[in-house]
Chains A and B, each alone.
Chain A
Amino acid sequence: MTEPANAILELDGLEVRHGSVAAVRSLDLHLLEGEIVGLIGPNGAGKSTTLHAIMGVLAPRAGQIRLKGRALRAGRPEDVARAGIALVPEGRRIFGDFSVAENLRLGLSARRDGAGESALDAVYELFPILADSRNRQAGALSGGQQQQLAIGRALVASPDVLLLDEPSLGLAPTIVDVVFTALAAIRKRGVSVLLVEQRAQRTVAFADRTYVLANGELRMILTPPDADDTERMIAAYLS
């Protein structure tokens, strides 16, 4: 499959196996600059596996992952992070014993421009709740606040591509709104977003394009108008 010339992230025939089980099969996916792309599908469809392969946590059996045209090497997630891809992991994975500011400062680890503390200000602007609680222990924050912290920590790295693994999982509806609003603001800053979600309809309506995965294979690509087409949404999951 030929990719558009301005793709920032490209997956080309990606195949990932968990032992003898093919978790992702010949997946082609691309992400344009400033684009929000959704990735939905039932549990076990291979969504998280795809993100882990991009980060280099899992080694692909076949295929290539390219960032700005350059192939990424598996096995060293820190290099992928430093190349410009940030992951907001499933379950947030914040450091509960550390302060909010320390969690954000850890995001600086991926930066190679030596940016200092001032890089945190943009995050405090985006999530004022974090600015108010910067000296609090992160573990004492509510689930929604922790999710904002996890997204903020990824943004501190100033990534070209932001990967999110089910950021709305377990959050109250009002907090889900906060997360989606933040994603729109993040896109405006020129960051490309790959969003793995369970909230299918909302994701399809929100993203520029949404890939539907099932059993590790690409089933279809949906666009916002499809969100209101109930039959097509059901077909996406049941086909």
Chain B
Amino acid sequence: MSVLAVIDAQTLADAVGLGAVYALMAVGIGLVFGVLRLVNFAYGQLVMAGAYTLAFTSTWPVAGSVAACFAVVIALSLLMERAVFRPLRTSSPAVMLVTTFAVAFLLQSVALIVDVRDDTIGEPASSVAPLGQAITLAGVDVRKVTLVAVGVAIVALGLLALLLGRTTIGLQMRAAAADFRTARLLGVRADRVIAFAVVLSGILAGAVAVILTVQNPLVSPDFALKDTIVVLVGVVVGGIDRLWTATLGGFSIGFATGVINGALPTEQTVFLPSAVFALVILVLILRPAGLFARGRGALVERV
């Protein structure tokens, strides 16, 4: 059987769903990168914290559980900005990146300490489980969460486009991302714009936490860790300098992962990361500035 024959509608639906989730994570990472020039490796731990919140509120009604998840993730994002990013704002990118690694592992350790109190690692999150049920659309089994993921991604990206394009704070965020120093000289308040970007990024992390928890209801300290690494790679492959290229990069790597996962025979899925990263190397050799960068112009601009 040829590889292509295995890529059926089912696989494509799942791949689009994964792409949508990764696109949301890419936007969350890209928004903060835009204003802080900081790659937040701890983004996955925000998602993890949201997933644990869902697990610990399993007995709550779905809406309450989801609201708690968003509240925790947004609060943690703001705390991270205040306690870690703000004091390091003028540090070198390397210092900031390494610091976010430290924050990521700190949060993971805290999660482990909280999690093992019942002598097992992993907490089931059942409040949002109904979203995991499948419905049949035109002969294809689509889990409700796939529809939710795609729907949330489209709505969130649409709202974000409106916010960035039509509002004053959106204009200020774009200006801060393009040239922070000049933006401040024009009266754009740095703290406000950064806090706004961090909150938006936190909202997206909350949404991702809900979707990933439905797909994988056993929450453990390394929840979303692998996804974050893949998304970060996708963001770089797409082009981190621009929000939309970063988003497309996130979607693409999610979609590619989904398709390759579907195409590989079950016993070969251990080779999934190798296949995905081989693709990444190929892309970076062919288009070092990013898959969706605007030709050579993008390189010249950065100098």
Q: Mark A residues whose CB is within 8 Å of B.
A: 55, 57, 76-78, 81-82, 86-87, 89, 93, 95, 97-98, 102, 105-111, 153-154, 157
Cα separation A105 to B185 with both chains bound (whole Å): 14
- 17 further A-B contacts with Cβ under 8 Å, apart from A55-B185, A82-B187, A95-B174, are A57-B185, A77-B184, A81-B185, A81-B187, A86-B186, A87-B185, A98-B174, A98-B175, A106-B175, A106-B183, A106-B188, A108-B168, A109-B183, A109-B188, A110-B187, A153-B186, A157-B186
Q: 6 shortest A-B CB distances, which residue pairs?
A: A110-B187, A81-B187, A109-B187, A93-B182, A77-B184, A109-B188
Cβ contacts under 8 Å, B156 to chain A? none
* Contact A106–B184 (Cβ < 8 Å): no
Asked if B129 lies at the interface with its beta carbon under 8 angstroms from chain A, I say no
Which one of A78, A86, A110, A157 has the highest number of Cβ atoms from chain B below 10 Å of its Cβ?
A78
Cβ contacts under 8 Å, B188 to chain A? 78, 106, 109
Which one of A76, A98, A106 has the highest number of Cβ atoms from chain B below 10 Å of its Cβ?
A106
Asked if B155 lies at the interface with its beta carbon under 8 angstroms from chain A, I say no
User: Given contacts A78-B188, A110-B186, is CB(A93)–CB(B179) below 8 Å?
Assistant: yes
Cα separation A109 to B185 with both chains bound (whole Å): 10
Cβ contacts under 8 Å, A76 to chain B? 184, 190
Cα separation A86 to B185 with both chains bound (whole Å): 8
Which one of A82, A95, A108 has the highest number of Cβ atoms from chain B below 10 Å of its Cβ?
A95
User: Given contacts A78-B190, A106-B172, A109-B172, is CB(A89)–CB(B178) below 8 Å?
Assistant: no
* Contact B185–A157 (Cβ < 8 Å): no
* Contact A111–B187 (Cβ < 8 Å): yes
CB contacts under 8 Å to A, within B167-215, are: 168, 171-172, 174-175, 178-179, 181-190
Cβ contacts under 8 Å, B175 to chain A? 95, 98, 106
Cα separation A87 to B189 with both chains bound (whole Å): 16
Cβ contacts under 8 Å, A89 to chain B? 182, 185
Count contacts between A and B, CB distance < 8 Å: 63
- How many Å from the CB of B244 to the closest CB on chain A? 12
* Contact A77–B171 (Cβ < 8 Å): no
Cβ contacts under 8 Å, A97 to chain B? 178
Name B184's contact: one of A78, A86, A157 (CB within 8 Å). Answer: A78
Cβ contacts under 8 Å, A157 to chain B? 186-187
- How many Å from the CB of B30 to the closest CB on chain A? 16
* Contact B178–A95 (Cβ < 8 Å): yes
Cβ contacts under 8 Å, B182 to chain A? 89, 93, 95
Cα separation A158 to B183 with both chains bound (whole Å): 16
* Contact A107–B185 (Cβ < 8 Å): no
**Complex A-B: 13 CB contacts under 8 Å:** A55-B185, A57-B185, A78-B184, A78-B188, A81-B185, A95-B175, A95-B178, A95-B182, A98-B171, A106-B171, A107-B186, A107-B187, A109-B187
User: Given contacts A95-B179, A108-B168, is CB(A81)–CB(B174) below 8 Å?
Assistant: no
Cβ contacts under 8 Å, A86 to chain B? 186
Which one of A82, A87, A109, A111 has the highest number of Cβ atoms from chain B below 10 Å of its Cβ?
A109
Cα separation A105 to B171 with both chains bound (whole Å): 8
Cα separation A55 to B184 with both chains bound (whole Å): 10
* Contact B185–A102 (Cβ < 8 Å): no
- How many Å from the CB of B107 to the closest CB on chain A? 31
- How many Å from the CB of B47 to the closest CB on chain A? 31
Cα separation A89 to B186 with both chains bound (whole Å): 10
Cβ contacts under 8 Å, A93 to chain B? 179, 182, 185
CB contacts under 8 Å to A, within B30-77, are: none
Cβ contacts under 8 Å, B189 to chain A? 78, 82, 109
Cα separation A55 to B187 with both chains bound (whole Å): 11
Cα separation A108 to B189 with both chains bound (whole Å): 12
Closest to B182 in A: A93
Cα separation A153 to B187 with both chains bound (whole Å): 11
CB contacts under 8 Å to A, within B137-157, are: none
Closest to B192 in A: A78
* Contact B186–A81 (Cβ < 8 Å): yes
* Contact A102–B171 (Cβ < 8 Å): yes
- How many Å from the CB of A80 to the closest CB on chain B? 8
Cα separation A47 to B171 with both chains bound (whole Å): 31
Cα separation A153 to B189 with both chains bound (whole Å): 17
Cβ contacts under 8 Å, B185 to chain A? 55, 57, 77-78, 81, 87, 89, 93
- How many Å from the CB of B243 to the closest CB on chain A? 12
Cβ contacts under 8 Å, A111 to chain B? 187
Cα separation A111 to B186 with both chains bound (whole Å): 10
